[in-house]
Amino acid sequence: MAQMTMIEAIREAHDVAMAADERVVVFGEDVGFFGGVFRCTAGLQEKYGKSRCFDAPINESGIVGAAIGMAAYGLKPVIEIQFADYVYPAYDQIVSEAARLRHRSNADFTCPLVIRMPTGGGIFGGQTHSQSPEALFTHVSGLKVVMPSNPRDAKGLLLAAIADPDPVIFFEPKRLYNGPFDGHHDKPVESWKNHPLGDVPDGDGIVPLGKAAIRREGADVTVLAYGTMVYVAEAAAQETGVDAEVIDLRSLLPLDLDTVTESVQKTGRCVIVHEATRTSGFGAELMSLVQETCFYYLEAPIIRVTGWDTPYPHAQEWEYFPGPGRVGDALKKVMED
Amino acid sequence: MTSDISPLSLNVPEPGCRPGNTPDFSDFEIPRAGAVPRPPVDVDPDAIRDMAFSIVRVLNKDGEAVGEWAGALSTEELHEGLRHMLLLRTFDARMLNAQRQGKTSFYMQHLGEEAVSCAFSRAMEPGDMNFPTYRQAGLLIARGYPMVTMMNQIYSNAEDPLHGRQLPILYSSKEHGFFTVSGNLGTQFIQSVGWAMASAISGDTRISAGWIGDGSTAESDFHAAMVFASTYNAPVVLNIVNNQWAISTFQGIARGGVGTFAARGHGFGIASVRVDGNDYLAVHAVAKWACERARRGHGPTLIEHVTYRAGGHSTSDDPSAYRSRREAAAWPLGDPVERLKKHLIAIGEWSDDRHKQAEAEVLATVVAAQKEAEAIGTLTSGKTPSPRDMFEGVYETMPPHLIRQRQEAGF
């Protein structure tokens, strides 16, 4: 066990995977000599050489396209898109190619590929450094979509993603890189030090894809969350006194529907929280699934608390961000019905 | 505003010839065969900049192979090359007809472009990988991929290796160095560079070849491929098949103000060569040169194959709506099959009678394969893939939500 930030845990996962398997190669913008703008690949070039960890031209479509070719060759590329907001030029390569190789070629060619990208707001990043585009990827057959909320899961899920035989989109909530964040932006910043989930196991243990974690047990309402919103939900439960069960989905696709269903059938209420925009967001899918599996158990309409359907604003960040106040209001409202 | 400035106007390039016009290729500069010297494979790209504006040609108008690029193929190999092109042309004719008969949904032929993929294939080694577009089936035919299997794919029947999931002709065969064809354009060009980078990362000696059409060079992925190939000195041969037409859009819309597509390579410091795409010997010689250059670690080559799409873009296309019906016949680089045939006759290794006999044999071979494939099934008859198959292979292990959906669908 070692105490780590999420950045250190992600770096450690790369290190473990690269040491174990020489087919693992790492590249992206600024990831080589410098070790990434968030430092998630620091020291890897020095340790594994320039042909296994290197800088790429600023061309996201090229980064993903080249990685697909490498995966088809037999390597296991783990690539970084500097911000999730920058992934759109690569969307064609991800959707039409990475996600489809196995199916369209009947496994003649496959694409074991991990595409990492920092996501989410809370850092005054404005509309081009704050987005949460996970629903654009959960909508695509052939992809897996993962979002850890802490250092321990970040390492275990990244190792699972690298071991996975199919392409995985790996979202890293950048506001959680250095500490848990419950949405109270005016309070002192917390670090992962002394946080139980900042304690990261040594070695190559994985956290399996498709398994949610219950972060807070409760009897009154189930909160479905992932990434930064896990801590916001925990804070909202604490502050409102509502006995909420907070589920950290961890994997959006495949989704641990069993854990979700079991919890909602137990509590009879459900609040869904995500930072991404609302319309056609992943919360809509969650709401449909909960409705399909738990309708006769529900005591109240399901509520979504999300980012607004606007571009992510700069100065109005905290009015956009679905913080503990809004989540708390939803918890109280769902209990009133 | 000063008075000597007039209002701006938009430049929209137009081809020289539209339906009803007389085709005119008099502006198309064609160097004589043998005029372009063959540089050493480790040549500095800067030293051969003129090759992007000329055309490597081996066969002259009398059918003789001339110049420094000649002499790379034995008579036996030339006979085989002619047979490959005849097979591809006959295969195309039969499958085009099968589509008209409703046995499949869609087909794309190679008419006029057979030399490009058939000759290139011969320059690659087993283990190398092509990232083809939809008009390089000659890569498979020349590698001996079974035509019955190609037809099974086209018919989406029960023996289709892709289980009916993919559009007709978007084949895949790793064993034959043929990457799964995408229906999206340009995406595979950068993938070929990534594959080549992987070979270099792994200390391998295998190389890859990317393929793209003249129209798709306008895609951003073309630029990505060129940057990556240049930066990492990837062992890749990047092929542009300039068949003059992107459906109804003439090559000038993608090319813009630059003289040739090959010249695009200059900005990236990539060796760039134009070749007569209807000259089997020239395509092979240039391909061989570029493959050796890549394999010996001298870096990527951009090849522009200058050819002409004599048929429609696909079975969904009617070219008479946008270009002259007489344009194909006026195309100055001729027909690849006729030119190789003429060469073989010129060197005393072929005759009209032998050619007729070869055509008959090839037709019999293709018809036999077609009968075999149709005995299994077509898109509309016989044995078809199981509907269950569409749920398989989305992931290596089927996730719970797909299992539920498959059950819901009743398969």
pLDDT tens digits for range B279-319:
999 999 999 999 999 999 999 999 999 999 999 999 999 99
Count of all residues that appear for chain A in the document: 337
Q: What is the mean pLDDT of residues B198-220?
A: 98
**CB atoms closer than 10 angstroms to residue B217:** 26
Preferred mutation among A22, A92, A94, A111 to probe B, highest tally of B CBs within 10 A: A92
* Lowest-pLDDT range of A22-36, A196-210, B1-15: B1-15
User: What integer pLDDT is reported at residue B2 of this predicted model?
Assistant: 67
* Mean predicted confidence (pLDDT) in A231-245: 98
CA distance A323 to A318: 7
Catalytic residue among A129, A185, A195, A314: A129
d(CA A5, CA A12): 10
Q: What is residue A230's predicted lDDT score, i.e. its pLDDT?
A: 98
Of A65, A110, A257, the CB nearest to B190: A65
Return phi, psi of residue A46, to 5°.
-65, -40
Q: Is A107 part of the contact surface with chain B (CB cutoff 8 Å)?
A: yes
Answer yes or no: do A97 and B224 touch at CB < 8 A.
no
Residue A144 has pLDDT above 90, yes or no: yes
Query: B161 to chain A: nearest residue by CA?
Result: A106
- The b/e string for A295-329 (b: 16+ C-beta within 10 A; e otherwise) is eeebeeebbbbbbeeeebbeeebbebbbbbbbbbe
**CB burial readout A6-40, b (16+ within 10 A) else e:** bbbbbbbbbbbbbeeeebbbbbbbbbbeebbebbb
Q: Which of A66, A75, A106 sits opposite B190 (nearest CB)?
A: A66
Check CB contact of A73 with chain B, cutoff 8 Å.
yes
DSSP label at residue B250:
E
Contact B110, B84 (CB under 8 A): no
The rounded mean pLDDT for chain B is 97
Per-residue pLDDT tens digits for A301-327: 999 999 999 999 999 999 999 999 999
DSSP result, A25-86: EEEETT-SSS--TT-TTTTHHHHH-TTTEEE--S-HHHHHHHHHHHHHHT-EEEEE-SSGGG
Confidence of residue B259 (pLDDT cuts 50, 70, 90): confident
Q: How many helices (H) and strands (E) does chain B have?
A: 12, 9
- Using DSSP, state whether B245 is helix, strand or coil: strand
CA distance A283 to A298: 17
User: The whole model's pTM is what?
Assistant: 0.97
Q: Distance between CA atoms of A238 and A223, rounded to whole angstroms?
A: 13
Mutation target to probe the B interface, by most B beta carbons within 10 A, among A105, A209, A249 is A105
Q: What is the torsional sign of CA A76, B226, B131, B76?
A: negative
Residue B211 pairs in a beta bridge with B239
Q: What is the pLDDT of residue B241?
A: 98
pLDDT for residue B64 is more than 60: yes
Check residue B398 and give its pLDDT: 98
**β-pairing, A2-3 with A199-200?**
antiparallel
Chain A residues 115-154 with a CB less than 8 Å from chain B? 141-142, 144
- For residue B224, give the amino acid letter: A
Tell me: pLDDT of B27 over 90. Answer: no
Instruction: Provide CB contacts within 8 A for B349, sequence distance 6+.
Output: B75, B78, B79
* SS3 of B327-376: HHHHCCCCCHHHHHHHHHHHCCCCCHHHHHHHHHHHHHHHHHHHHHHHHH
Residues A94/A167, Cβ–Cβ less than 8 Å: yes
- Which candidate from B131, B174, B227 shows the least CB-CB separation from A57? B227
Structure confidence at residue B138 (pLDDT): 98
Distance from CA of B15 to the nearest CA of A (A): 31
- pLDDT of B1 reads 57
Asked if pLDDT for residue B255 goes beyond 70, the answer is: yes
Q: pLDDT band for position A337 (50/70/90)?
A: confident
What pLDDT does residue B277 have?
98
Q: Is A314 a catalytic residue?
A: no
Please give the radius of gyration of chain B, using alpha carbons only, rounded to the nearest integer.
22
Note the pLDDT of residue B303. 98
> Looking at residues B358-382, what average pLDDT do you find?
97
CA distance A237 to chain B (A): 30
Return the pLDDT at B3. 82
Phi, psi dihedrals of residue B281, rounded to the nearest 5°: -70, -40
pLDDT in tens, A116-126: 999 999 999 99
Percent of chain B residues topping a pLDDT of 70: 100
Report how far Cα B250 is from the mean position of its chain's Cα atoms: 17
Radius of gyration of chain A (CA): 19
Q: Token pair of A56, please?
A: 């790429």
Question: How does pLDDT run across A46-72, given as a tens digit for each residue?
Answer: 999 999 999 999 999 999 999 999 999
pLDDT above 60: residue B132: yes
Q: Which two tokens stand for residue B147?
A: 């035509």
Nearest-neighbour CA in chain B from A88: distance (Å): 13
3-state secondary structure of A186: coil
pLDDT band at B243 (very low <50, low <70, confident <90, very high): very high
